[in-house]
């Protein structure tokens, strides 16, 4: 499995009908990458495109539909990519290979067999902090819903968990009543985001959320927690402080 940190992203463009021996080239490339232990690769079929031959391939023209471009992409460590490139160079006789520097922010894989089997649990109890963020459903951040952007930011900060609640009625400091009913359009219903974490991590999270919140409320209070963790879980069972 890939490790967090610097890596290489390889993108290969070929035509769907390009063959290698008796198989489509893109299938041969995927099989090669799988045999070589690449963490994962994806092939996507484009809707339209053109290349060095200056011919527009489109599904609108039956004769050109079979020549649609295929994009194969994978991310691997730099050393692994250097090992694979000579063979890929030999396989792609009509196409394009692109290599870019990239950064793996998170790489995770769940063992399905372990997940399906019943696991013993460990009980952890202790002290933590509860943060509740109050805002409006219509609030935005860089073109997307603010509550969605906040949850994404919290996840990037490795916050243990966050839950978004959508209210049915409420009012705030401005005194405006927000409600959902047959006679009132649900334009700006109240939203609350609830987060439980250690005091240190929650302090950093609150500072990040405050920079994003234009009109709202952040409330932090003490909390007693009971956490149940699978005995063989790879998660840090002591992520929250014990009491």
pLDDT of residue 55: 65
Residue 184 has pLDDT above 50, yes or no: no
Task: Work out the average pLDDT over 147-171.
Answer: 88
Interacting residues of 113 by C-beta distance below 8 A, sequence separation 6+: none
Give the pLDDT band of residue 113 (cuts 50, 70, 90).
low
Report the chain's C-alpha Rg in angstroms.
25
Domains of the chain, earliest start first = 5-104 (3.30.70.120), 116-230 (3.30.70.120)
What confidence tens digit (pLDDT) does each residue in 192-208 have? 999 999 999 999 999 99
Global pTM? 0.50
> What stretches of 49-116 adopt beta strand conformation (E)?
69-76, 96-104
Residue 139 has pLDDT above 80, yes or no: yes
SS3 231: coil
Q: Provide long-range contacts, Cβ within 8 A and 24+ apart, for 46-55.
A: 46/70, 46/71, 51/13, 51/96
SS3 29: helix
Look at the block and give the residue holding tokens 């730099």.
78
Looking at per-residue confidence, does 3 or 212 come out higher?
A: 212
203 φ/ψ angles, rounded to the nearest 5 degrees? -65, -45
């Amino acid at each position: 499995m890939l490790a967090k940190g610097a890596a290489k992203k390889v993108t290969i463009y070929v035509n769907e009908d390009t063959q290698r021996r008796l198989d489509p080239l893109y299938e041969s490339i995927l099989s090669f990458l799988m045999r070589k232990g690449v963490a994962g690769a994806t092939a996507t079929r484009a809707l339209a495109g053109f290349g060095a031959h200056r011919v527009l391939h489109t599904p609108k023209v039956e004769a050109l539909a079979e020549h649609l471009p295929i994009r194969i992409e994978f991310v691997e460590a730099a050393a692994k990519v250097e090992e694979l490139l000579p063979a890929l160079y030999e396989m792609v006789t009509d196409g394009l290979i692109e290599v870019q520097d990239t950064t793996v922010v998170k790489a995770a894989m769940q063992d399905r067999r372990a997940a399906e089997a019943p696991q013993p649990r460990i009980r952890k109890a202790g002290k933590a902090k509860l943060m509740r963020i109050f805002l409006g459903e219509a609030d935005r951040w860089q073109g997307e819903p603010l509550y969605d952007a906040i949850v994404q930011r919290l996840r990037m900060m490795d916050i243990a968990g966050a839950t978004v609640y959508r209210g049915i009625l409420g009012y705030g400091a401005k005194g405006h009543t927000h409600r959902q009913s047959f006679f009132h359009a649900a334009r700006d219903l109240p939203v609350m985001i609830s987060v439980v974490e250690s005091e240190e991590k929650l302090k950093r999270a609150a500072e990040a959320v405050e920079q994003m919140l234009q009109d709202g409320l952040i409330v932090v209070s003490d909390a007693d927690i009971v956490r149940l963790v699978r005995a063989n879980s790879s998660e840090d069972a002591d992520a929250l402080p014990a009491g």
